[in-house]
């Protein structure tokens, strides 16, 4: 966000505090309502540089249509629109801020939903869509990234950024599909009209992903995924239990045969959590039992085996990365993914698997011996971004050398039992093989220290986290409460023998009262080379502004 936007007053009422995110359809700020004295979200139109005036007028009109559509809705499972204002000739939409995680983030944290959690999401989103459909509004982009799980357990449907009133003339060219391909209805993928039945398919596909831990359709590229949606068989719901018939009823190729939202709610009623309980309440992780295998018999004069190398979780000095020998085992941990904020057809297509909580790498590449080419130092260029949370804190701006072509977006993470609230800025390569994240915990000190952060990461992966020695790392200039450290840990997605292994290099940097974490994620097969060419080259350039 430009410095000129800080403390800017919109319509003499809404004071912009900081940027929440930016997508193809607009920019969203956290703001303060000076009249009612409450936190709100303000969405303004985003006019891309060089856009002709005619196209800009169409974009403004689409924003107003969004406002009119959402303003017609009032339901506890929908994000509430408070106001629509004009400022300097541009429209701004004022909406509620919901302290929450997206369903996509929940999936990347726990893998998939329980039956009660799935029932709660199905019931809530079915109710939200029924309310929208009664008002003549289709959502067009139901997916895990647009389902919010509030901190108090409520489930809300958000981002009607491409919704429209079906009574109004379309502004979208015929044949251009909207939405995310893994969740798009077959008839829409073929260029047909978006109907209420299309939203029901997307709801079924969303719950398919929520129960299986991955989208129902995946491919190496957009067209491959769309081809599977149109011509492939509807996959049998995996891990859905008693919700499987409902999901299958929603995912019928013929729109006329899809289960109604009323029937969906009737079917899941008996599976809902007890009244007054929160199906998404954070619970202590279950640690699998340790299997102890007998030691092999070794002859007294048998030679010793080669040194297996460093532990799977290792703290290293960036200036002198150790050479590694062949490992005997690899640490297995669930891969971390992130919430995609970008809305609209462009960003949604590019990052479908992220929004669903799955890896950016498609399954077909897991067994391929060909790995993406690592970027080289000359292609890394300075980029500026801001990691600010939704609670109104200021600052958070930083610079970092990253490839200019890599996609960037910001994620808000609510406080939980392990970590305080934070903001995460993601930089993702075009292939999805490499990712750089910058996470900021504002006002982390003096209540916490680095040890608490490391224990939090370890607690997140209780059965698969391996600890090692921590060594000092170059500190940021300025005051700090303790010295910096860095470490490496590994994660895995999927089952053997096609498991996708990722290595995560983390640099933890105290800065004033804040804690910053710069992390570079790469395929484990390229770990040694990536340590120097990516982690050392990128992390050493990080600097708060």
Q: By the 8 A CB rule, do 422 and 441 touch?
A: yes
Residues β-bridged to residue 487:
506
| CB contact burial 395-417 (16+ within 10 A = b; e otherwise) | ebbbebbbbeebbebbbbbbeee
Q: Which CATH code for domain 100-271?
A: 1.10.510.10
Return the ∠ at Cα 453 (arms to 450 and 457), rounded to 5°.
140
Q: In 42-79, which positions are buried (b, 16+ CB within 10 angstroms) versus exposed (e)?
A: bbbbeeeeeeeeeeeeebbebbebbbebbeebebebbb
Beta bridge partners of 440: 423, 516
Task: Note down pLDDT in tens along the chain; length 545 residues.
Answer: 444 555 789 999 999 998 877 665 568 889 999 999 999 989 887 665 666 777 777 767 777 776 777 777 889 999 888 888 888 878 888 988 888 888 999 998 888 999 999 999 999 999 999 999 998 888 888 999 889 999 888 999 987 754 444 433 333 333 334 457 889 999 988 777 788 999 999 999 999 999 999 999 987 667 678 888 888 899 999 889 999 999 999 999 999 999 999 999 999 999 999 887 888 875 434 333 333 333 334 344 444 333 333 333 333 333 333 333 333 333 322 223 333 333 333 333 333 333 333 333 333 333 333 566 776 666 789 999 888 875 556 678 999 999 888 877 777 777 777 888 888 888 888 767 788 999 999 999 999 999 899 888 877 765 554 444 456 688 898 888 899 999 888 877 655 666 667 888 999 999 999 999 999 988 888 888 888 888 989 999 999 98
- In the prediction, which pLDDT does 46 show? 65
Write out the two tokens for 497.
């023998």
Among candidate residues 141, 199, 393, 514, the one labeled active-site is 141
- CA–CA distance from 531 to each of 469, 500, 520 (Å)? 18, 18, 9
- For 126-279, strand residue ranges (E) read 137-138, 147-150, 155-157, 164-165
- Asked if 38 and 13 count as a contact pair (C-beta separation under 8 A), the reply is no
The set of residues, in sequence order, having a beta carbon less than 8 Å from that of 298 and lying 6+ positions away, is none
* Burial track 464-478 (b if 16+ CB lie within 10 A, e otherwise): bbebeebeebeebee
User: What pLDDT, on a 0 to 100 scale, did the predictor assign at position 123?
Assistant: 96
Say whether domain 3-95 belongs to CATH 2.60.40.10.
Answer: no
pLDDT of residue 26: 67
CA atoms within 13 A on the CB side of 11: 20
Sketch the domain layout of the chain as residue ranges.
Answer: 3-95, 100-271, 345-544
Chain centroid, CA 152 distance in Å: 20
Q: Determine if the peptide bond prior to 491 is cis (ω within 30°).
A: no
At residue 23, the pLDDT reads 60
Q: Taking the CA of residue 237 as centre, how many other CA atoms within 13 Å lie in the half-sphere pointing to its CB?
A: 26
SS3 of residue 59 by DSSP: helix
Phi, psi of 32 (to 5 degrees): -120, 125
Query: Is 141 considered catalytic here?
Result: yes
Query: Is 116 annotated as contributing to ligand binding?
Result: no
Is 345-544 CATH 3.10.450?
no
CB 217 within 8 A of CB 356: no
Q: CA torsion, points 526, 527, 529, 530, in degrees to nearest 10?
A: 100
Any residues with CB less than 8 A from the CB of 483 and at least 6 apart, and which? 472, 473, 475, 510
The two tokens of residue 145 are 């990234």
């Amino acid at each position: 966000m430009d410095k000129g936007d800080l403390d800017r007053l919109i319509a003499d009422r809404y004071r912009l505090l900081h940027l929440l995110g930016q997508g193809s359809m607009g920019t969203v700020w956290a703001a303060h309502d000076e009249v009612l004295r409450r936190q709100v979200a303000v969405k303004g139109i985003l006019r891309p540089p060089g856009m002709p005036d005619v196209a800009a007028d169409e974009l403004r009109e689409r924003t107003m249509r969004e406002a009119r559509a959402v303003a017609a809705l009032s339901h506890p499972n929908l994000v509430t629109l408070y106001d629509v204002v004009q400022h300097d000739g541009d429209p701004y939409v004022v909406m509620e801020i919901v302290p929450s995680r997206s369903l996509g983030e929940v999936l990347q944290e726990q893998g998939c939903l329980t039956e009660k959690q799935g029932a709660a999401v199905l019931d809530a989103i079915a109710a939200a869509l029924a309310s929208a459909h009664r008002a003549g509004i289709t959502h067009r982009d139901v997916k895990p990234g647009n389902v919010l799980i509030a901190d108090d357990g409520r489930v809300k449907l958000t981002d009607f950024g491409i919704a429209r009133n079906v009574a109004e003339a379309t502004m979208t060219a015929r044949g251009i599909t909207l939405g995310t391909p893994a969740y798009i209805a077959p008839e829409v993928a073929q260029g047909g009209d978006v109907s209420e039945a299309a939203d029901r398919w997307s709801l079924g596909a969303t719950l398919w992903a929520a129960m299986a831990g991955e989208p129902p359709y995946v491919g190496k590229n957009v067209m491959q995924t769309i081809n599977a949606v149109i011509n492939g068989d509807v996959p049998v719901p995996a891990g859905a239990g008693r919700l499987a018939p409902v999901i299958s009823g929603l995912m019928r190729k013929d729109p006329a045969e899809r289960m109604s939202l009323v029937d969906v709610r009737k079917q899941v009623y008996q599976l809902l959590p007890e009244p007054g309980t929160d199906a998404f309440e954070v619970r202590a992780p279950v640690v699998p039992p340790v299997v102890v295998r007998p030691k092999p018999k070794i002859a007294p004069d048998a030679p010793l085996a080669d040194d297996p190398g460093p532990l799977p979780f290792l703290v290293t000095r960036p200036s002198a990365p150790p050479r590694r020998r062949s490992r005997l085992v690899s640490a297995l941990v669930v891969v971390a993914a992130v919430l995609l904020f970008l809305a609209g057809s462009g960003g949604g297509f590019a990052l479908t698997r992220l929004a669903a909580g799955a890896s950016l790498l498609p399954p077909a590449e897991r067994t391929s011996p060909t790995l993406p080419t690592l970027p080289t130092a000359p292609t890394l260029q300075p980029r500026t971004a801001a990691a600010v949370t939704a609670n109104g804190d200021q600052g958070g701006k930083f610079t970092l050398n990253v490839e200019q072509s890599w996609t960037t977006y910001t994620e808000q993470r609510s406080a939980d039992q392990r970590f305080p609230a934070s903001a995460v800025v993601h930089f993702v390569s075009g292939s999805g093989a490499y990712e750089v994240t910058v996470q900021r915990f504002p006002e982390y000190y003096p209540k916490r220290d680095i040890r608490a952060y490391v224990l939090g990461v370890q607690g997140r992966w209780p059965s698969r986290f391996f600890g090692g020695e921590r060594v000092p790392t170059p500190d940021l200039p300025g005051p700090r409460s303790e010295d910096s450290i860095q470490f490496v840990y590994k994660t895995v997605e999927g089952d053997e023998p096609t498991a996708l292994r990722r290595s995560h290099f983390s640099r933890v940097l105290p800065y004033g009262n804040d804690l910053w974490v710069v992390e570079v994620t790469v395929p484990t097969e390229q770990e040694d080379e990536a340590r120097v060419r990516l982690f050392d080259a990128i992390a050493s350039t990080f600097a708060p502004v």
